[in-house]
Amino acid sequence: MYNFIVPKDLDLRAALAPAGIALAALLAFGLTLGAGFLWDDHQMIEQNPRMTVSSANLASAFKGDPFAQGLNYYRPLQTVSNMADFAVWGLRPFGYHLTNLAFHAAAAILFFYLALALGFPRGGAFWASVLLAAHPAAVEQLLIVAGRAELASAACTAASLLLFVRGRAAASFLFFLAACGFKENGVITPALAALCLWYQGKNRAEYKKLLPFFAVVPAYLLIRHAALGMGLFSHGLRPVASGLLLKVPAAILVYLKEALLPFGMHSHRMQPDSALLAWAAPVLLAAAAALLYRRGSRAALFCAGWYLLNLAPKFPLLAANDLMLDHWVYLANAGLFLWAANALHPLRKLFPAAALVLATASAVNTTRRDTDLELYEHAALRSSSKPMLYNLAREYYLAGRFDKSRALFERVSAAAPGDHLYLSGLALARWKTGEPDGALAALKTALAIRPGDPELLFNRYSVLRGSGRSAEAAAALRATLDLNPGYAPALLAAAREHAAAGRPAEAAPLYERLLADDPANTEALNDYGVLLARRGDYEGAARLFRRALRVSPGLASAAANLARAEAAKAAGRP
């Protein structure tokens, strides 16, 4: 017989807990690994010319929003992490979804260790983390790569808190910065750390260690403002102030209900439209807070504080908007689960069944929303959000269902007549349903709202060209490029016009400019390769086709063109 010596510090049982939490995450969200790019991913990743890792692109990530559209999001590390995925995976979505799943599992596992470090019972900490790993509130953030911001920020916040509680303030500070870099939620980390100190009963000297953390918050907000040109309260203070009283409490009650019964998760959830709930919710929450303060345990107060502090960065959005997105309570729910797992300890035999129900609900919800069209159709049954209906109309358009697309575009444009995006979509749908004059009228209205907008000008060119008005289309394309010389769709269209007209010498510089701006532009790579092949440069064409396939291995046209170029080269054709 062999005698195996097992080191005393090797506790196999200790490894089972994180493995179990990771398994829960995989069972709940493993299906997301088979999803493609969805929703915001198309612009953030597929159509993003700054996905390659370079000093210019890294600097750009810290100077604006992830979409380069002047939006009120500052998430530079999200952009950097997308660049890292692109360097490894190209445009294969599996790797991006794998990264999201890893961040999600890490957030749940780190919360488990944080709860243990704070002194919560192991069983309660474990089941709270399993519920966090399996809960459907995370479905959208795992289906959509752009949802990484929430997951990664949560994981970094949990890591920062764990390190701080363990006395490693310097490392904690770095993860705090990372949490802020992934999403604005990270600014709440110092307040959560103070809550942890309170729960542990630490003395005032320990709180002083948080001074550098709190000092970073105004500096971060200034950097954010400098990068985006807008503050957190872009809707103004008055609607935020009134909404904090009349909208946020009602939203909290809905979120608590969804945490318990999460079987209708969807995109663009609208806040409850009930005057009775709006006035009753503050009273109910105030009564609950008073009862908790008088009779609640220290653990219950901690869990309530955790929930509210994690939701606090969303208060301005909840107060000033009509939306209440499911994932806004992603990390907040961990406090609720921690309270339930400990308060309901006598019912612990039911916890595995509860986790299985949540994991099943997440998996089923994933299958109902794993394409763009399904995502929006699923939401349209439950929400009247205009942005969501716009996205659904766009998906109908891309699927060739132009009548349905037009009906929705007409609806949202009538509800928001000053929205140029809605008018642009309406124009294209009218064109495809045989009404080019109506399309041009919609574009004229949109251009009056946004003069010189490159997408609107390019859509005008597309409508004119598709309607057979070639001379007007050529003039529209020139006008688009005169006002927006670097607009990629117009450059690509101009290159194709020259190539189709037998002017390769004029087309080639345009393709080269496109690839200088975006080396991963697969359309330009494929088209330019075809142009080179027609000129007899089979080797140069093959290089371009291979580059396209490295970015997008499933690009059938590039694969077929590469085979033709290699065959022509082997045959020695001129």
Q: Which domains does the chain have, with CATH numbers?
A: 13-370 (no CATH), 489-574 (1.25.40.10)
DSSP helix/strand/coil, 433: coil
Mean pLDDT of the chain, nearest integer: 90
310/77 Cα distance (integer angstroms): 20
Enter the tokens of residue 266: 């969807």
Percent of the chain with pLDDT over 90: 67
Q: Are 358 and 131 in contact (CB under 8 A)?
A: yes
Q: Is residue 144 predicted with pLDDT exceeding 60?
A: yes
DSSP helix/strand/coil, 297: coil
SS3 letters for 442-476?
A: HHHHHHHHCCCCHHHHHHHHHHHHHCCCHHHHHHH
- State the pLDDT confidence band at 4, using cuts at 50, 70 and 90: very low
pLDDT of residue 346: 87
Distances (CA, A) of 168 to 113, 163, 164, 210: 15, 5, 5, 12
The pTM is what? 0.83
Q: pLDDT digits over 443-466, tens only?
A: 999 999 999 999 999 999 999 999
Judged by phi (left if over 0) then psi (alpha if -120 to 50, else beta), residue 201 lies in: left
30/52 Cα distance (integer angstroms): 28
pLDDT of residue 84: 94
Residues 194, 200, 204, 205: is their CA dihedral positive or negative?
A: negative
Please provide residue 270's backbone torsions phi and psi, each rounded to the nearest 5 degrees.
-90, 150
Q: Which residues contact 450 (CB under 8 A, 6 or more apart)?
A: 420, 456
Q: pLDDT digits over 214-228, tens only?
A: 999 999 999 888 887
- State the pLDDT confidence band at 69, using cuts at 50, 70 and 90: low
Q: Is residue 25 predicted with pLDDT exceeding 80?
A: yes
Q: Are 395 and 376 in contact (CB under 8 A)?
A: yes
pLDDT of residue 95: 95
98/81 Cα distance (integer angstroms): 12
Q: Which residues contact 543 (CB under 8 A, 6 or more apart)?
A: 529
Task: Pick the most confident of 6-10, 344-348, 400-404.
Answer: 400-404
Q: Is residue 568 predicted with pLDDT exceeding 90?
A: no
pLDDT of residue 10: 47
Q: pLDDT digits over 229-244, tens only?
A: 765 555 556 767 777 8
Percent of the chain with pLDDT over 70: 95
Over residues 28-39, the mean pLDDT reads: 94
Report the 10 Å Cβ neighbour count for 109. 22
Q: pLDDT digits over 535-566, tens only?
A: 999 999 999 999 999 888 888 999 999 999 88
Q: pLDDT digits over 258-277, tens only?
A: 999 988 777 778 788 788 88
Over residues 4-19, the mean pLDDT reads: 66
Rounded (5°) CA angle 423-426-430: 140
- State the pLDDT confidence band at 6, using cuts at 50, 70 and 90: very low
Among 74-83, 378-387, 525-534, the range scoring the smallest mean pLDDT is 378-387
DSSP helix/strand/coil, 392: helix
